[in-house]
Amino acid sequence: MFNLDRSTLTEYLIEHRRRTPEATGEFNALILQIAQACKAISRAVAHGALADVLGSHGSANVQGEEQKKLDVLADEIFLRATHWGGDLAGMVSEENEAPIPLPASDQRGKYLLAFDPLDGSSNIDVNVAVGSIFSILRAPTPGEDATAADFLQPGRRQVAAGYAIYGPSTMLVLSVGNGVAGFTLDPIIGEFYLTHPGIRVPQTTREFAINASNARFWEPPVRRYVDECLAGRSGPRGVDFNMRWIASLVAETHRILMRGGVFLYPRDRKDPARPGRLRLLYECNPIGFLIEQAGGRASTGVRPTLEVRPESLHQRIGFVFGSREEVERIERYHHEPVIGSVQDELPLFHARSLFRDTEFAQ
Ligand SMILES: O=P(O)(O)OC[C@H]1O[C@](O)(COP(=O)(O)O)[C@@H](O)[C@@H]1O
Ligand SMILES: [Mg+2]
Ligand SMILES: [Mg+2]
C-alpha cells in the first residue's frame, strides 16, 4: 500500500534548488513554512467540532464578509508559520486590509506572500472540502518592508503558487514555475509525499461549474455559453454536459486539475461596485498560474488573468478557467457580437428555462 520510493516535499524542493544554481534556500524555506501552516490548518479542519473551530467568529473582514472561526484561526496559523522566517519582505491576506507588518526585529527577505488562509468558508460548517491558496512574488526592493503597491504585479510575475485542499485527504498542489506537482499528506508521519507529478488539465471537457443562482445577472456571452451547455445533445454543441458547483474555489480547481472541466465566476451585473466575486491577488492569480502551468487556460473572460495589472490589494475580477478549448470558446463569445442565443432556437428555453429572465433576454 505504501510506496517508499516517493519523494517528500523537501526532497522535491532540494531537487528544484539543484537546478537553480543562484538559489539561496530562502525560497525552499518559505514553501516549507507554508506547508507547515497547511498541516496545522488541516489538523484543525479534521478535528472540526472537537477543536471548536466551526461557526462564526462574530467579526467581519475588510471586505465586509462574516469571518468564521476557522478563517481567523487559519490566518493566525499562516502568520505564525511564515512571518518570522526572514525570507519575506511583506505579506497580504484576505483577512487583513493592509500588508501585514513583519516583526520589527526580523530581517526582511526578497519574497512577497499573498494568501487566502481559508478558501470556501461557507463549506466549513457543512463538512465539505475547503482549502488555502498562496501566491509568491519577488519583492521590488528586497531587504526592505514592502508597500501595498509592491504587490500590484501581474500574475505572470509569480515565482510560485499553490493551494492546500483539506478534503478526504489533504493535498498540497504546487507550481514553482516548471509544471504542477501534487503532494498528499501522511497525517501520521506529518509529511507531504509526491503522489501526483506532472499534473495536466485535459484540453477538452464536458463538465462546467457556475453558480446558477446568479443567472439573472450574467452578461450575454456567459448566458449563451451556459445555455448551449444546458441544451446538450439537441443544442448547438451536440453533446450533453455535466455540471458541478462546490462553492470552494480550491475544490473546483482540484477537480479540474484531476479530470478537466471549466469553472466560471464571471463578471456580472449583481453589484456594479464588485466586478466579479473572486479576488485577483490571492485567488485568481495563483489558481491561474497553476492552471497555465498545467496546460489549461485562465481568463477574465476576455483576456488572460495573468496579464491583468492589479489596481488594489483586494480587487475582485471575473474568472474563467480550466480546459483550454472551453475557455477559448468563452473568450470568443465575449469578443463576438451578441446574436440570438440558443434560447431563441429552442422552444423549451422560451418560457421554462432554469436560467430564464427578461432583463437580459436577447
Ligand atoms: O457563495 P458562492 O457564490 O457560491 O461563491 C463561492 C466562491 O466563494 C469562495 O468561497 C470565496 O472564497 P472565501 O471563502 O475565501 O471568501 C470561493 O472559494 C468560491 O468559489
Ligand atoms: Mg477564497
Ligand atoms: Mg478565504
Ligand 1 atom 20, closest CA: 249
Is 133:286 a contact under the CB 8 Å cutoff? yes
Domain span(s) for CATH 3.30.540.10 in the chain? 9-196
Distance CA 157, CA 135 (A): 10
Q: Which atom of ligand 1 is nearest to the CA of 250?
A: 18
Q: Is 93 in the pocket of ligand 1 (CB under 6 A)?
A: no
Alpha carbons within 13 angstroms on the beta-carbon side of residue 235 total 21
Query: Which numeric CATH code is attached to 9-196?
Result: 3.30.540.10
Which amino acid is residue 260, in one-letter code? G
Does 169 belong to an annotated binding site? Answer: no
What's the CATH number of domain 207-351, 3.30.565.10, 3.40.190.80, 1.10.10.10, 3.40.50.300?
A: 3.40.190.80
Does 71 belong to an annotated binding site? Answer: no
Domain span(s) for CATH 3.40.190.80 in the chain? 207-351
How high is the pLDDT of residue 340?
Answer: 53
How high is the pLDDT of residue 339?
Answer: 62
Does 94 belong to an annotated binding site? Answer: yes
Q: What is the pLDDT along the chain (362 residues), one digit of tens a residue?
A: 667 789 999 999 999 888 887 888 899 999 999 999 999 999 999 999 999 989 899 888 888 888 999 999 999 999 999 887 889 999 999 999 999 999 888 889 999 999 999 999 999 999 999 999 999 999 999 999 999 999 999 999 999 999 999 999 999 999 999 999 999 999 999 999 999 999 999 999 999 999 999 999 999 999 999 999 999 999 999 999 999 999 999 999 999 999 999 999 999 999 988 889 999 999 999 999 999 999 999 999 999 999 999 999 999 999 999 999 999 999 999 999 766 544 444 434 433 344 433 332 22
Closest by CA position to 62, among listed 94, 92, 91: 94
133 CA to centre of ligand 3 in angstroms: 8
Does 238 belong to an annotated binding site? Answer: no
Report DSSP letters for 35-92, one per residue: HHHHHHHHHHHHHGGGGT--SEEEEE-TTSPEEEHHHHHHHHHHHHHHTTSS-EEEEE
Q: Is 305 in the pocket of ligand 1 (CB under 6 A)?
A: no
Strand partners, 56: 68
72 CA to centre of ligand 1 in angstroms: 16
Instruction: Report CA torsion sign: 198, 202, 208, 210.
Output: positive
Q: Is 288 in the pocket of ligand 1 (CB under 6 A)?
A: no
Is 181:12 a contact under the CB 8 Å cutoff? yes
Q: Kindly state the cell numbers that stand for 214.
A: 446568479
ipTM entry: 0.95
Q: Answer yes or no: pTM beyond 0.90.
A: yes
Is 32:176 a contact under the CB 8 Å cutoff? no
